[in-house]
Structure 1
Amino acid sequence: MTEFGKSLGMVETTIPGLLIADLPVHGDSRGWFKENWQREKMLAAGLPDFGPVQNNISFNDEIGTTRGIHAEPWDKWVSVATGRIFGAWVDLREGPSFGTVFTAELDPSRAIFVPRGVGNSYQTLEADTAYVYLVNDHWSPDAEYSFLNLADETSAIDWPIPLAEVEISAKDLAHPRLADVTPIPPRKTLIVGANGQLGRAMRGLLGESAEFEYAGRAELDLADPSFVGSRRWRDYATIINAAAYTAVDLAETPEGRADAWAANATGVAALAKIAAQNGITLVHVSSDYVFDGTKPGEYTEEDGIRPLGVYGQTKAAGDAIVSTVPRHYIIRTSWVIGEGKNFVQTMASLAERGIDPKVVDDQTGRLTFTSDIAAGVRHLLENDAAYGVYNLTGSGAPMTWAELAKHVFSATGHDPARVTGVSTEEYFSAATAPVAPRPANSVLALDKITAAGFAPSPMLDSLAAYLG
């Protein structure tokens, strides 16, 4: 019999993420009423914000009607509209809890949240029983499902009504035993821009496994709108956007301007839409170029953006778009150094070839090595850090480009006095092509990411290791 007057509450079960809920049911001689799913109240009580997109109803004529055990690649909220059911849930996800069993009775005052990959089955205990489930994905023939036999000896479910006496479909009777079940894999992480400096660093840190998918420009080009339909996006938990148009000077030309906006804004907008619609965490790498460089001190995450050139404007637009995604991290960084052509390699090459360079000495910032960015991104994701904007650069005293060039010369055994400091204006005075304006101050405050538990590496230590 339905219990009236319960307080709303969620309780963890023996299966991770499987939550039993008590629902307030208000009744009298006329019948009863309940809020079957109320987002604001249920989030406060501990229900995940799972974003349902479909509502299904299962009606069962007879006592003992038994369905399952099915594991789907989506979350579901199961509640009873009328009648009473016995539920059995078996964890069919990859991992240490695989095979764990939980059983309970559900009536209109008791519901359950079933996370993706947990097998669920139901046996009706009263005639004319109807139960309702909200799911956060649409059925698809391309989705990965898993099934378990209702009579599996390892799970040893104690059915209230013996399976030999109940109505079961032939298909459910033919499902495999636990030893032969194909586990549901975790949702994947997609790294976009996998062949760039940061993408290669992410691959080196995360490694090769089915959990991580790496897409270079050939596999996913942000400037090509067709990428939106290229995947079943509900299979992804996280997208790390390591792709960007970064030719800051070329972006000042008509062709470059179009390419920069296509990759850094339009493409990012499509990624953001995908993430928002599918409950995906979007990690987006931004730039010090969103600032004009006129602030006397370090830029914090709360400072207003005022980009100077086209590249900075497109990155600022991308930041604004990504900030609308419910689950997002915007990583602002500066002076990135990784595998491939970069400032440090150029200076080291000039030193070895006996060329004495003129290097800008009126722009100040910190180097950021891609290994640090990759480690910082992983830290935020693994520790469920608060969503939002984080500055991430190397740590230590800020320097000018010229000072850093001198460090490169010294570290490679050359005389740092061979480096001559010049102003930005003088450095570009002979340029015949458009030159993007640079922020004079690119120093980003690191307090927020440090408070989140990540310690950026001292940039001079990273520089020595990089050259070593």
Structure 2
Amino acid sequence: MTEYGKNLAVTETPIPGLVVFDLPVHGDARGWFKENWQREKMTALGLPDFGPVQNNISFNDAVGTTRGIHAEPWDKWVSVATGRIFGAWVDLREGPTFGAVYTTELDPSKAIFIPRGVGNSYQTLEADTAYTYLVNDHWSPTAEYSFLNLADETAGIDWPIPLDQVEISEKDKNHPRLAQVTPIPPKKILIIGANGQLGKALRTQYGDAPHVEYTDRSSLDITAPDLESARRWRDYSVIINAAAYTKVDAAETDEGRRDAWAANVTAITALARIATTNNITLVHVSSDYVFDGTKNTPYTEDDPLSPLGVYGQTKAAGDQIIATVPRHYIIRTSWVIGDGNNFVRTMATLAQRGINPNVVNDQTGRLTFTTDIAAGIHHLLTTHADYGTYNLTSNGEPQTWADIARDVFTLTGHDPERITGVTTDDYFANATAPIAPRPTNSTLDLTKITEAGYVCAKGPSALVAHFESVTS
């Protein structure tokens, strides 16, 4: 009999992500009423905001009707409309809980959230039982399922009505035992721009995990008009966009302006639409150039955007677009150094060649090493940090470009006094091509990401570690 008057509450199970909800059911002589699905209240109790797109109903007129253990490629919210069922759930996902079992009875006062890859099966305990389920992907004949035999000895499910006394389809009777089930891998992580400086660091961070897919422009062009049909996007949980137009000065030219807007805004709009439609977490890398650099203290994530040049304008526009995606991380960085041509490598080369360079001394900020960006992204994703914007650079006292150049000369065994500091205006005084305006203060406040549990590398030690990695 349905229990009336319970408070909305959640119960964890031994299977990660599988949670049971008590539902308030209000009844009288006329019958009963309940809120079967209430997004705001249920997500407040920790239910994933899983974005259902289809509602199905299963009706069973006979006691004992038993459905096989099926693991589907989507999340599922199951509740009973009328009657009562015994449910059995088996974790068929890769990981330490593979094979874990949970069973319980469901009536109209209970519901259960089943994550993708957890096998579920139901046995009716009353005649004329109907249960409903919301799913966050449309049914497809090409969807990949996994199955487990109802009588699997390892799972050892104690069915209320013995399986030899109930109605079971022939197909369900012939499903494999647990030892023959191939664990379901997690949804894919797509890393775009995997051959760039940050992309290479992400390759090192994520390695050759089979669920991680790396692409460059030859295999996935995010500026292409058919991007939304280029993948079965429901198979992805995360997109990390490490591709961008970063030619700050070239963006001031007619051709560069078009290319910068295409890569940093138009393509970002398509990615944001894909992520929103398919409940994908979108990770995007931003820049200190979204600010004008006139602030006297470090910039926080909430400071108003005020870009100076075309590059900064496109990055600021991209940030605003990404911020509309329900699941997003914007990683704002400055002065990025990675595996490739960069300021540090240039200074080391000049030192070795005996050249005494003029280096800008009126721009202040911190270096950001791509290894730290990759590690920070990994941390936010694996700890399920709150979505939003995070500043991420090296830590420590801000420096000018000239200060960093002197550090590089010192680390390479050369006299740092060979560096001559000059103003930005003097440095570009003889330029013949368009030059983008630079923010004079690029220092970003790191409080938010520190509170999220990520320890940013100290600037001087990070520079030493960078040299050791590129020279080892």
C-alpha distance in 1 between matches for 2:396 and 2:127: 71
What secondary structure, in the 3-state scheme, does the structure 2 residue paired with 1:51 have?
coil
Alignment match, 1:221? 221
Return the alpha-carbon distance in structure 1 between the equivalents of residues 296 and 131 of structure 2: 63
Q: Determine the C-alpha separation between the residues in 1 that align with 2:293 and 2:44.
A: 42
- SS at structure 2 position matched to 1:225: coil
**Displacement, 1:84?**
1.4
Q: Deviations over 1:416-460 (max 9, x none)?
A: 222222221122122221111111111111122222222211222
Q: CA RMSD in A?
A: 1.4
Q: Which consecutive unaligned segments of at least 5 residues does structure 1 have?
A: none
Counterpart Cα distance in 2 of 1:159 and 1:374: 48
Instruction: Tell whether 2:140 aligns with 1:128.
Output: no
1:165 aligns with 2:179: no
Aligned partners of 1:455, 1:19: CA distance in 2, in Å?
Answer: 32
1:219 is displaced (CA, Å) by: 1.9
2:396 equivalent to 1:360: no
Letter paired with 2:407: H
Task: Report the alpha carbon displacement of residue 141 of structure 1 after superposing the two structures with TM.
Answer: 3.8
Take 1:272 and 1:34, find their aligned partners in 2: how far apart are those partners? 35
Task: State the AA in 2 paired with 1:177.
Answer: R
Cα offset for 1:36?
Answer: 0.9
Structure 1 residues 229-378: aligned runs within 5 Å: 229-378=229-378
CA contact (8 A) 1:188 1:237 kept: yes
Structure 1 partner of 2:95: 95
Q: CA contact under 8 A between 1:222 and 1:262: conserved in structure 2?
A: no
Quickly say closer, same or farther: Cα 1:199–1:25, change in 2 above 3 A.
same
Which residue does the alignment assign to 2:152? Answer: 152
Deviation at 1:392, TM superposition (A): 0.9
SS at match of 1:272: helix
1:319 to partner: Cα distance: 0.7
Q: Amino acid of the residue matched to residue 5 of structure 1? A: G
Displacement after TM superposition at 1:234 (Å): 2.1
1:203 match:
203
CA distance in 2, matches of 1:393, 1:225: 34
- Alpha-carbon distance in structure 1 between the residues aligned to 2:334 and 2:271: 23
Superposed, which structure 2 residues align to 1:53-132 within 5 Å? 53-132=53-132
Question: CA shift at 1:247, angstroms?
Answer: 0.6
Query: Cα deviation per residue 1:156-213 (whole Å; 9 max; x = unaligned)?
Result: 2222222222221111111111110121111222211111101101111221111322
**What's the CA shift string for 1:80-137, capped at 9, x where partnerless?**
1111111111111111111111111111112211111110111112222111000011
Equivalent-residue separation in structure 2 for 1:297 and 1:156 (angstroms): 63
| Alignment partner, residue 178 of structure 2 | 178
Secondary structure at 1:204's aligned position in 2? helix
**1:290-342: CA deviations, max 9, x gaps?**
00011112111121110001100010011111111122111111110000001
- Quote the Cα distance in structure 1 between the aligned partners of 2:49 and 2:232: 20
Q: TM-score, normalised by structure 2?
A: 0.96
Give the distance between the partners of 2:136 and 2:74, measured in 1 at CA.
6
SS at match of 2:348: helix
Q: Which amino acid aligns with 1:179?
A: A
Matches within 5 A, 1:6-25: 6-25=6-25
Distance 1:466 1:275, change over 3 A: same
Letter in 1 for 2:328: H
Deviations 1:335-391 (A, max 9, x none): 100000011111111111122212112111111111111111122222222221111
Give the secondary-structure state (helix, strand or coil) at the position aligned to 2:67. Answer: strand
State the 1:154 CA deviation. Answer: 1.4
State the distance in 2 between where 1:143 and 1:61 align: 28
Q: Equivalent pairs: percent with the same residue?
A: 72
Tell me the CA shift for residue 396 of structure 1. 1.8
SS in 2 for 1:224: coil
1:45 & 1:196 partners in 2: Cα distance? 41
| 3-state DSSP of counterpart to 2:223 | coil
The one-letter amino acid paired with 2:158 is: D
User: 1-side partners of 2:433 and 2:278: how far apart?
Assistant: 43
Check whether the contact 1:195–1:217 (CA below 8 A) recurs between aligned residues: no
Match of 1:381 in 2: 381
Q: What is the alpha-carbon distance in structure 1 between the residues aligned to residue 64 and residue 177 of structure 2?
A: 22
Structure 1 residue 70 displacement after superposition: 0.2
Residues 51 and 279, structure 1, Cα contact 8 Å, conserved in 2: yes
| C-alpha separation in 2, matches of 1:158 and 1:456 | 51
- Equivalent residues of 1:144, 1:184 under 8 A apart: no
Q: Distance in 2 between matches of 1:167 and 1:194?
A: 52
Q: Give distance in 2, aligned partners of 1:157 and 1:385.
A: 36
Deviations along 1:234-274, whole A, 9 cap, x unmatched?
22222211111001111111111111111111111111122
2:457 corresponding residue in structure 1: 457
TM-superposed CA distance for 1:402, in Å, is: 1.6
d(CA) in 1 for partners of 2:111, 2:45:
13
- Measure the CA separation in 2 of the matches of 1:438 and 1:228: 35
2:13, 2:62 → 1: CA distance? 29
Aligned to 2:49: 49
Gapped regions of structure 2 (runs ≥ 5): none
Please give the alpha-carbon distance, in whole angstroms, between the structure 2 residues aligned to 1:315 and 1:385. Answer: 23
* Aligned counterparts of 1:79 and 1:447: Cα–Cα separation in 2: 43
| Cα distance in structure 2, aligned partners of 1:165 and 1:383 | 46
CA distance in 2, matches of 1:190, 1:102: 32
Secondary structure, counterpart of 1:448 in structure 2: helix
Q: Distance in 1 between matches of 2:294 and 2:401?
A: 17
Residues 31-76 of structure 1: CA deviation (Å, up to 9, x unaligned): 2211111111222233221111100011112221111110011111
Counterpart residue type for residue 444 of structure 1? L
**Residue type of the alignment partner of 1:171:** K
- What's the CA shift string for 1:132-157, capped at 9, x where partnerless? 00001112344331001111121122
Contact map agreement 1:73 1:184 (CA 8 A) in 2 = no
> 1:268 is aligned with what amino acid?
I
Corresponding residue SS for 2:68: strand
8 Å CA contact retained: 1:91, 1:99: yes
Q: What's the CA shift for 1:29?
A: 2.0
Cα distance in structure 1, aligned partners of 2:257 and 2:141: 41
Task: Provide the aligned length of Structure 1 versus Structure 2.
Answer: 468
Report the Cα distance in structure 1 between the residues aligned to 2:358 and 2:121, rounded to whole angstroms. Answer: 72
Give the structure 2 partner of residue 411 of structure 1: 411
C-alpha distance in 2, partners of 1:428/1:380? 39
Q: 1:45 to 1:261 in 2, by over 3 A?
A: same
Paired amino acid for 1:148? L
